[in-house]
Structure 1
Amino acid sequence: MGNYNWGSWLIESVIAIFFISGFVVFYHQEWLPLLGRRDYSPRMKQRMTHVGMTAFIFLMAIFFQAAAWLDPINSLTYLNFSLYVLIIPLMDNQVFQLEFWVRAAGLVLFWVYNDLVLGWWFALSLVSLLLILIVINRWGDQIRDRAFADLGMSFWIGITFWMTQTQLVHSYLVMGIAMFFLMNVFNFFYWTAARRSEAEHTELVKQVNVDALTRVKNFSAFQRDGRQLMLQSIEPVTLVMFDIDHFKQVNDRYGHTAGNFILSEVARSIQQILADSPLTNYEFYRTGGEEFNIIFAQRQTADVLDLVVDFWRQIREHNFKFEEFDISITLSVGVTQRQASDTTFAMLYKRADDNLYHSKQNGRNTITVEGEIYRSNHRHDVALTYRFFNQPIVDVATQKPIRNELLLRMYHPRFKQWQLPRIFEISADTQIELLKTVLPQLEVKRVSINLTARQFANKVTARRLTAYFQHETSLQEMVVEVTEVPTPDVMHQISPIYHAGGVKIAIDDVESDNGFEVVVPLLADVDMLKFALQNLAFEKEQAQVWEQAAFWYDLAQQHQLAFVLEGVENGADLALAKQLGITQAQGYYYGRPILPALD
């Protein structure tokens, strides 16, 4: 080759500057929106980013290598482009060690391929390259942030590479080194400006989306992320809501500075527990006051419960040291999973809030999952919050009680009275505790308890209740009354569990709440039907109501099922029941629900 064309060198240097500008922008962010169009987890996006950028670097190097072979006149420029795309990304402080050495291996291959002599100078250059890689790997952050070190390293790399090109005349070698150095001068200032701009943008995003006290995401981010999950139809999604019990007492007793300390320490502790767990794809938020939420994307409730119990227990057992005070706190937790009927994120949030409220109503320091207490440290407190009232079910002929229906009530401290609970779906453990409380007060040791469709579908509930019935020798009969019928598939799965344990199944409020079409497919799996006169009294004429009662009684007889007539309020109702041949009845005529007196 002859003397180098200085005009061409200048033009190629300007082109190199434009190339660097595009490469830096693309490397930092321009291809990331492509990932945002798909429902990838954060870890998957990170993995794809690293693998994708490494592949992109190698493809660019191969492209420029091919260009140098096809267009040898401009090979100096193409080789510098290849060297640049292989060297500069090694300075990225976000790369993993494996990724760094994979990229380094690509650089070594490029180095070997472009040496035509493989003499002693080449061996010396490989030693120098290895030293360069070790220095970058060990002190890359310090080199990248200091102009003298960064440009000095670039000059060292340029000399080491271009001096292996012994087939070139000296002017080409000088221009090759000079162009690479000039590219790195521009790269340093441009990349530094890009990093500064990115840092400023990141800080602005944090100010908008991060809670200043706890450094976790705030309510605005929670709402936005939640809506995005719903729009992307990500399944499953589990929402864990918790707050600090009696937090106002912490503020009142120790001061607001102590309260802020507790908030930040709780957030820090749970962040660490989350980070140490094998679970990924979660976001942690402070959504107001002492309330926090964790969204677990692509995780079922069962996947996160061990973690929830872990941080619930660790927070309870930890003494938070503030000045001279040791402060102990507990958490109330509500857990729910996205359901098919959740058309908005607000519906999921409302159900988590209801579960949290349920934990509060059950004495706090409790975990409620889908309306059932999953963990609690105060079973006696639960029994004082909830109680079973009993109403007799009688034999129509003898007028004597044959069973007691146990009706759930909740004590409202503000009004100082027992009321219908806001949430009926208490856990099997709580029901058993309440049964143990009320059973000694009942003369007739036969009981019926009510279950919602979701409670009935829970196999754990079925097994716990049947196990209790089998071990409680004083309890002569147990009936579970399903207030909302499940699907036939669920009934076929659950009914054998109850029947194997000797527990009977009744469908409550047929006709009024559970119509003919949904009840008939279940008749082979149940033992009893209950018809409530009072539920239809305002909808139909009295004669029509009794016609319906007769129809359901006949249906029960055809399938050899027991039948209970509810809502018997006077002698006329009793006479009509006897006329139809009904043998079991319940209603105000026999007695209202009462709270049995404790010993």
Structure 2
Amino acid sequence: MDMTHPAATFGTGPLNTPLWFAQLLITFMFATGFISYYRRVWQLAFVLLADKPVMAWLVRALMIGASVGIGTGLHMVGWLVFTNATGLMFHNMGLFVLTFTLLDKGITWWEYGLRLLGIADVWAMHHMGYFDRPQFLLSVVGAGIGVGVLWHFREQIRFTVWRHIGVYTLIGVSFWTLLPRHSAGLVITPPIIVQGLSMYLVMVVVTAITLARDRQLEQRNQTNAQLAHYDSLTNAKSAAIYRRDVTRFFQAAHAGGHQLTVAAIDIDHFKQINDHYGHLVGDEVLIGVAKTIATELRRHQGQHSLYRTGGEEFSIVFVDVSHGDMQTIVTAVWAAVQKQHFEAGDYTVHATLSIGVAELQPSDQRFDDVYARADASLYQSKHNGRNAITIGDRTLNNHMKKHVMATRTLISQDVIDTQTAGKVVAKEVLVARYEYDHDRWNFPSRFMLPIDVQLNYIRDLLTIGDTDQIMLHLTQRQFEDVDTPERLLAFVQNQPQPVHLVVELDLSVQVRVLAAEAPRYRRNGIQIALVNVDARQPLAQLEPRLPYIDSLKVACNSLRKQYPVGLAQHDTHRWRDTLAPYHVSFIINEIENSVDADFAQRVLHARYLQGYYFDRPELPRLA
């Protein structure tokens, strides 16, 4: 035969270019198909058969046998069936199968070790008769580093393209560039090394890109499933999934005679939280409450699921959980939320739950029948003062004080001295009004109440005994009434304990009225305070009234707007020089939250403070 003919040199030289590209294409397609089928088998062993351990271990054993068997078998085909470069494709396929399976997630050290034995066998096959060469030792070190890195950092490598390519390139280079001259039927030359390594790297690159792409697709699908099945804000299951699940639970419970229970949950006064702190804080409270409930549920065994079924409404559905266990879990959830203080930006917010619980009855025709009873129990919890649990028609924490429904009521709020550890130095009589449209109580800054009504309330207030100074509101007309000072004095004298009254007047009271009437009140030991003072008003408007008053109240919000970074030195001197000659006390009120309190104390260095943050009055509850 003519040795210069291409057919005559086919078995000893490298692949010609068309055949090389053909084998590159075949290895590309092989890698793509192998990845797809192998991952399905992995899914079967580690996910689909997770609840059948025996079957799962059988599949895992088959995976080891298949990967080692296919990998070594392909090498043997390349060695025994084909001559020289024509077998390159099979050698690379075998090496790829053996090394790719080292990425398997969830395998044990011995499963990894059996795969390494397959690689070691092929490695030894290619260096057979040349174990004394330093290149053999160097190749083993390179491969050892590669498989060691894979074992310790599989999670970081599996779906990261460049890390994946880098580690497997090290293994491929260690294999192909350090082979002896004669290796498993191959005559190793530089062109053979280039062609062999290129086929392996094609499979490595396609594997890295495929795994990364599939991972992105999987994460996108998980995100879409999360959005479809879970509430995006609280991560509780969504209302749509709730309707699907409860229908299925109801049918299964009826058919199998299982227990089914639903707990309807409502965050107490959530609209007030939204109105008082803002919707962003309200969202943080929703997230915190849902997280607290979910965390508590995970501490208890049994089948129970949390759903967000409305704005501030949640439901827990219990499947085949005994009455006693269910009551224990619901009580634990209720207590866990009650103990929490939810951090929302600069605020710390406390929330409580009202809960109504109902269990499946044989007469129920649909799940809505169960939920209607749970909702009725929830209504009873609210009627009993909120922050309560009602199971059936029995409220568990019925020790709570019940309040009558009211649309307008008197309350008191403390004035505290920050320099004496928050000592209460006075109590102010206020009016609270309920707004039905917004489900909230508000506190009007201007109101008119008969004096006798306020004095009757003060008489009850004095029994608390934590201060003897009480502040009540008078209109200008009441203040001008010639009988008012004597009525107030008579009240003071008829009390069994000492009492000091302070009448509060709006800043709009006329200076001439103050000048005329203030002496009569002071002769009777009654002090005078100006309220609703806005820090943005000029001091010139306030100064004519100062000789006739003993204290004034300035709203925190107006001070923040006027002095956002605090009082400058000249501002401090101006206020001090204006008030000091008249010995007028300065009270900052409307301290609504921790931000206001910090501003008043740290920035303004105020001594006397008053507001919702320090004293949250017990208001009448609505059923």
Per-residue deviation at 1:9? 5.7
TM-align CA RMSD: 4.7
Aligned to 2:145: 131
1:216-255 matches, within 5 Å, as 216-229=236-249, 239-255=262-278
SS at match of 1:250: helix
Calculate the TM-score normalised by the size of structure 2: 0.49
Provide the C-alpha distance between the structure 2 equivalents of 1:62 and 1:232, rounded to a whole number of angstroms.
46
Aligned to 2:29: 18
1:173-572 matches, within 5 Å, as 175-229=195-249, 239-275=262-298, 277=299, 279=301, 283-295=305-317, 300=322, 302-303=324-325, 305-322=327-344, 325-335=347-357, 345-346=367-368, 349-350=371-372, 352-369=374-391, 371=392, 373=394, 376-381=396-401
SS at match of 1:333: strand
Per-residue deviation at 1:110? 1.5
SS at match of 1:365: coil
Given candidates 56, 61, 68, the residue that maps to 2:74 is: 68
Per-residue deviation at 1:265? 1.2
Amino acid at match of 1:191: L
**Contact 1:241–1:291 (8 Å) recurs in 2:** yes
Deviations 1:277-299 (CA, angstroms, capped at 9, x unpaired): 36476543212111123445675
Per-residue deviation at 1:243? 2.3
Aligned to 1:104: 112
Given candidates 170, 179, 198, the residue that maps to 2:188 is: 170
Gaps of 5+ in 2: 1-10, 406-435, 437-623
Per-residue deviation at 1:381? 4.6
**Contact 2:27–2:202 (8 Å) recurs in 1:** no
Aligned to 2:547: none
Provide the C-alpha distance between the structure 2 equivalents of 1:282 and 1:325, rounded to a whole number of angstroms.
32
**Contact 2:75–2:90 (8 Å) recurs in 1:** no
Deviations 1:328-371 (CA, angstroms, capped at 9, x unpaired): 222233456667777755455455545544544554333445x2
Provide the C-alpha distance between the structure 2 equivalents of 1:322 and 1:170, rounded to a whole number of angstroms.
69
**Contact 1:239–1:352 (8 Å) recurs in 2:** yes
Provide the C-alpha distance between the structure 1 equivalents of 2:22 and 2:269, rounded to a whole number of angstroms.
72
Per-residue deviation at 1:269? 2.6
Provide the C-alpha distance between the structure 2 equivalents of 1:63 and 1:108, rounded to a whole number of angstroms.
13
Aligned to 1:151: 165
Per-residue deviation at 1:32? 6.2
Per-residue deviation at 1:109? 2.2
**Contact 2:250–2:260 (8 Å) recurs in 1:** no
SS at match of 1:377: coil
Per-residue deviation at 1:316? 0.4
Provide the C-alpha distance between the structure 1 equivalents of 2:372 and 2:46, rounded to a whole number of angstroms.
31
Aligned to 1:554: none
SS at match of 2:283: helix
Amino acid at match of 1:261: E
Gaps of 5+ in 1: 386-413, 415-599
Provide the C-alpha distance between the structure 2 equivalents of 1:301 and 1:35, rounded to a whole number of angstroms.
36
For the pair shown, the structure with the greater C-alpha radius of gyration is 2
Amino acid at match of 2:336: Q
SS at match of 2:309: strand
**Is 1:58 equivalent to 2:64 in the alignment?**
yes
1:108-123 matches, within 5 Å, as 108-114=116-122, 115-116=124-125, 117=128, 119=131
Distance 1:363 1:56, change over 3 A: farther
Amino acid at match of 2:241: A
Per-residue deviation at 1:185? 1.2
Distance 1:146 1:342, change over 3 A: same
**Contact 1:61–1:83 (8 Å) recurs in 2:** no
Provide the C-alpha distance between the structure 2 equivalents of 1:3 and 1:12, rounded to a whole number of angstroms.
15
Provide the C-alpha distance between the structure 2 equivalents of 1:336 and 1:126, rounded to a whole number of angstroms.
68
Deviations 1:12-43 (CA, angstroms, capped at 9, x unpaired): 5434333433444456679869999x9x9xx8
SS at match of 1:364: coil
Provide the C-alpha distance between the structure 1 equivalents of 2:261 and 2:179, rounded to a whole number of angstroms.
59
Aligned to 1:447: none
Aligned length: 374
**Contact 1:222–1:285 (8 Å) recurs in 2:** yes
**Contact 1:64–1:79 (8 Å) recurs in 2:** no
Amino acid at match of 1:187: T
Distance 1:113 1:197, change over 3 A: same
Per-residue deviation at 1:173? 5.7
